[in-house]
Chains A and B, each alone.
Chain A
Amino acid sequence: MSTTTTLPPLPPIGRSVRAYFAPVDRVHKTPTLFDPSVNGRFSVNTPPAPWISLGWIENFARKSASKFGDLVTGTPGATQMQVRATVDATVAFRFKTWTKLSMALAAGSQHMNLLVPAAGGAANGSGSKGVPPVNLATGSTAAFLALSATDAATFSAGSLVTVDVDYASTTGFVGSGVYAAYVSSAAAVNSDPDYIRRVSFNVARVASVSTGSTPGLQLAQPLLAGVPAAGMRVQPLSGFVDREGGSFFQEWSALFVVDGQQGERILYHYPRLQSMAGPAEESSALAPPLERLALGASFRALPVTDANDGETVVCFRSFLPSPMTLI
């Protein structure tokens, strides 16, 4: 016989919120769904694939923006029933760290890589023409880029690289691993073969360079798109740039986790989030004049259909009670 001692329900006391994001398949309009009945108790440091941890966030604020209508009958009028006129919700928070992903999520529009410039390129706000990319050799993995010894020698440990295919005059969503932009016409991007590498999320820092028997770049972090596909090439970058403006909307699946102090867990799952604000920073004073700069982010939740009952919803809130409390 299995028995347990129970306690009355206790108020959840959270310490902070962890954020996880996963790409949305924009072509097939398929978000990444998180199933709390399967993975609800995952370790916060090792989220289930394809979720990517973006660490602790702060100032997490959810807001329901759904509107309700009422049906009034009789004299004097009395509300007899309500209808849900619109389903809408927003969520806002601050990213504590700046990374390619957190910047892109916060900026909302195309997020660009600053390609290391070629000599003599015309100045441009989002970076000028980059140095030529180098080809991958066979034997690459998600964390190792096989190159010729000559090409490998052009990189140094600690440098940053973007790894993606050449732009080939196609239109539609582009970018490996995550759709990073939408190209409406080849002319709009000057038919630039580097355009996809300029917006790609498939970026990493180089941990070491080998030019010996197995020449290539050992990456300090695996590529988001996994093992490089045929046709991908490598180009160095120096940083990132986002812009106020742009026509593209990033769309992500999001998961937020609050662990209570008694073992309970609250999960907020937004299958589709699109940014509803441009890039902005918010500062927190450390010791004057030092300030910590956080990335402000706010999103609108877009709908999905719950397969259990066909309802249109924008967010799922799950509660996994502590092991000892009555429910």
Chain B
Amino acid sequence: MQNAKDTFYLALRNRLATVNPARTMTLRSVTRPGILVEDAEPFMPLPQLDAFTLCWSGLVADLHLPGILAQMSCEIRYTTAGTQPNAGLDRGRALEKMDDELLRLLYPYSEQKMNYTQTPAAAMGTLVFWSEPAFSPAAMDHDRLSRIATVTVFAFQEANEA
């Protein structure tokens, strides 16, 4: 199932580089597209502003199929405080911009499953696909505005796949 998670993350990251090349973040001294996987980064006491954070949570597996169908819940969290020039008064607009970007990142709702543990990455036999996002209400915390979009990611487990 890790291949499916990697594929989903890298699909969104690659799409973000096209949808909004300006949305970048500097993490561990590297500037890269503004999307990260929570369990692949050091613990952060505060959310990364103006970036998408993928948090993997639930897992359901349908074993009564020729290939196991895994359903993985992914919470995509994002927080913004608006921009400094506008003293944060544009945080509502900034959140709406991230909502729109996320919708564009998620479509189309599938991607060829890849094995990124080898170089070069190898295409696998099936496609990873996912549901449309379910958006939570925006949450206000002092000067920060946040939202969680939940997506269910599906992948068929292939033979000899870890």
Residues on A facing B (Cβ under 8 Å): 15-16, 55-56, 58, 96-97, 286-290
Provide the residues of chain B in CB contact with A16, threshold 8 Å: 64
Contact of A96 (CB < 8 Å), options: B65, B129, B154: B65
A39 CA / B71 CA spacing, docked (Å): 36
- Tell which of B64, B66, B132 touches A289, judged by Cβ atoms closer than 8 Å: B132
Pair B132/A97 contact, Cβ less than 8 Å:
no
Task: Collect the chain A residues with CB atoms within 8 Å of residue B66's CB.
Answer: 55, 97
Across the interface, do B131 and A288 meet the contact criterion of CB distance under 8 Å? yes
Interface residues of B in 106-133 (CB under 8 A from A): 129, 131-132
B: which residues have CB within 8 A of A? 64-66, 71, 129, 131-132, 152, 154
Assess whether B154 is in contact with A286, with CB atoms less than 8 Å apart. Answer: yes
Residues in chain B near residue A15, CB distance under 8 A: 64
The listed residue (A56, A58, A290) touching B154 by CB distance below 8 A is A290
| Nearest CB on A from B72, distance (A) | 11
- Inter-chain CA distance A288–B65, complex, in Å, is 21
- Nearest-neighbour CB distance to chain A for B136, whole angstroms, equals 16
Which residue of B has the minimal Cβ distance to A99?
A: B66
28 contacts between A and B (CB under 8 A): A15-B64, A16-B64, A55-B64, A55-B65, A55-B66, A56-B64, A56-B65, A58-B64, A96-B64, A96-B65, A97-B65, A97-B66, A286-B71, A286-B131, A286-B152, A286-B154, A287-B71, A287-B131, A287-B152, A287-B154, A288-B131, A288-B132, A289-B131, A289-B132, A290-B129, A290-B131, A290-B152, A290-B154
Contacts of B129 in A (CB 8 A): 290
- A15 to B62 CA separation, bound complex (whole angstroms): 12
CA distance A21 to B134 in the complex (A): 42
The 9 closest A-B pairs by CB, nearest first: A287-B131, A287-B152, A56-B64, A16-B64, A290-B131, A55-B66, A96-B65, A97-B66, A289-B132
Q: Taking chain B's interface residues, is the majority helix, strand, or loop, or is none over half, making it mixed? A: loop
Q: Which residues of B contact A58 (CB under 8 A)?
A: 64
- Once the chains are docked, how many angstroms separate the CA of A97 from the CA of B154? 16
Closest residue of chain B to A57 (Cβ to Cβ) is B64
Residue of B nearest to A17 (CB): B64
CB distance from A212 to the nearest CB of B (A): 26
Contacts of B131 in A (CB 8 A): 286-290
Nearest-CB residue, chain B, relative to A55 = B66
Across-interface contacts of A290 in B (CB, < 8 A):
129, 131, 152, 154
Closest chain-A Cβ to B159's Cβ sits at a distance in Å of: 13
Q: For residue A97, which residue of chain B has the nearest CB? A: B66
Contacts of B152 in A (CB 8 A): 286-287, 290
- Most chain B Cβ neighbours within 10 Å, of A15, A288, A290: A290
- Chain B residues lying within 8 Å of A55, measured Cβ to Cβ, are 64-66
Chain A: minimal CB distance from B131 (Å): 4
A55 to B66: give the CA distance in the assembly, Å.
7
Most buried by B among A15, A16, A56, A58: A56
Instruction: Give A15 to B64 CA distance when docked, in angstroms.
Output: 9
CA distance A145 to B71 in the complex (A): 39
Distance in angstroms between the alpha carbons of A5 and B34 in the assembled complex:
64
Query: Shortest beta-carbon distance, B116 to chain A, in Å?
Result: 24
- Closest A residue by C-beta to B129: A290
Contacts of A286 in B (CB 8 A): 71, 131, 152, 154
Q: How far is the CB of B61 from chain A (nearest CB, A)?
A: 13
Complex Cα spacing A288 to B66, Å: 23
**What separation, in Å, do the CA atoms of A218 and B154 have in the docked complex?**
31
Select from chain B the residue with minimum beta-carbon distance to A53. B66
Q: How far does the alpha carbon of A289 sit from the alpha carbon of B64 in the complex, in Å? A: 22
Least CB distance, A20 to chain B, in whole angstroms: 14
CA distance A290 to B65 in the complex (A): 17
**Within the assembled complex, what's the spacing in Å between the Cα atoms of A157 and B68?**
25
CA distance A240 to B65 in the complex (A): 21
- A96: chain B residues within 8 A (beta carbon): 64-65
Compute how far the CA of A56 lies from the CA of B69 in the bound complex, rounded to whole angstroms: 13
- Chain A residues whose C-beta falls within 8 Å of the C-beta of B132 in the assembled complex: 288-289
Q: CA separation between A58 and B65, bound complex, in Å?
A: 11
Residues of A within 8 A of B154 (CB): 286-287, 290
Query: Chain B CB within 10 Å — which of A97, A287, A288 has the most?
Result: A287
CA of A290 to CA of B110, assembled, Å: 12
B65 nearest CB neighbor, chain A only: A96
> CA separation between A96 and B63, bound complex, in Å?
12
CA distance A51 to B85 in the complex (A): 73
Q: Which of A58, A286, A288 has the most CB of B within 10 A?
A: A286
Residues of B within 8 A of A289 (CB): 131-132
